[in-house]
Amino acid sequence: MAEHLNDEEQVEALKKWWSENGKSVVGGVVLGLALVGGWRGWQYYEQNRADTASARYDEMIVAAENRHLDRAVQVAEGLRVDFDDTAYASLGALRAAKLKLEAGDRGAAQVHLAWVRANAPDPGLRQIATLRMARILIDDGELDAAQRLLDAAPRDAFAPELAELRGDVARARGDAQGARAAYEEALAGKPASGLLLRMKLEDLPAAAGKS
């Protein structure tokens, strides 16, 4: 009898607990399912968005390779508008800058590069844009602007390239000593442009006291 009563007491206790807590349990389950479903939905949305951006970028590359430059730049600008927070938008802007530079539109090239510097999600892409913009400024004789850009750039994996450009600025100013120091610093980092750097060094006037 005691065991029977204990069973009944347990059933009653369970009923009471369910009456008091059942709604919150169901709500928690529903909320959990909603969160899981929402997370999967977000993952699907992000993947679909990345796939679309990738397809647009491929379209731009094909247009550029076929010398349909206006179409390539148009697609790149569309990437900036619709997928501004993706690497594809930044890569598209870098390619658009190159196309504009090759077409002789240096101002438009700088606009694309400035956008990458301000918006690229990856610091490496921002640094590439900085290097390319500095080269344009040096070629245009805007040495002070190039120097400011290089001085503000972080010293990272692109440090040798930054040093080489600082050397180019110094050389353009007639500062052979400063150019030599910057080029030697760049060479110490073993950059891909090592052969060109050595040629730049050899073209500098001999250091004082050396023949």
- Going from N- to C-terminal start, the domains of the chain cover 59-121, 130-204
Mean pLDDT of 151-175: 93
Question: Do residues 172 and 156 lie in contact, with contact meaning Cβ atoms separated by under 8 Å?
Answer: no
pLDDT, averaged across the chain = 84
Q: Which two tokens stand for residue 209?
A: 């006291």
Question: Do residues 172 and 138 lie in contact, with contact meaning Cβ atoms separated by under 8 Å?
Answer: yes
Look at 193 and 65; give whichever has higher pLDDT. Answer: 65
Instruction: Kindly list the distances between the CA atom of residue 36 and the CA atoms of 22, 27, 28, 29, in Å, as whole numbers in the listed order.
Output: 21, 14, 12, 11
pTM of the model: 0.75
Instruction: Kindly list the distances between the CA atom of residue 175 and the CA atoms of 149, 150, 178, 207, in Å, as whole numbers in the listed order.
Output: 19, 17, 5, 11
pLDDT digits (tens, 9 = 90+) for 96-124: 999 999 999 999 999 999 999 999 999 99
Q: Count Cβ atoms below 10 Å from residue 193 Cβ, excluding itself.
A: 14
> At the fourth CATH level, which superfamily is domain 130-204?
Tetratricopeptide repeat domain (1.25.40.10)
DSSP at 192: T
Is residue 211 pLDDT above 50, yes or no? no
**What percent of the chain has a predicted confidence (pLDDT) above 70?**
75
Q: How far apart are CA 133 and CA 130, in angstroms?
A: 5
Q: Which two tokens stand for residue 159?
A: 């440090």
Residue with tokens 């850009």, as numbered in its chain = 149
Q: How far apart are CA 184 and CA 164, in angstroms?
A: 9
Query: Which range (23-37, 44-58, 78-92, 144-158) has the least confidence?
Result: 23-37
Q: How far apart are CA 199 and CA 164, in angstroms?
A: 12
Q: How far apart are CA 57 and CA 80, in angstroms?
A: 11
Is residue 1 pLDDT above 60, yes or no? no
pLDDT digits (tens, 9 = 90+) for 32-72: 655 666 656 646 556 677 789 899 999 999 999 998 999 99
Amino acid in position 110: Q
Within 67-158, residue ranges assigned H as helices are 69-82, 87-102, 106-119, 123-139, 143-152
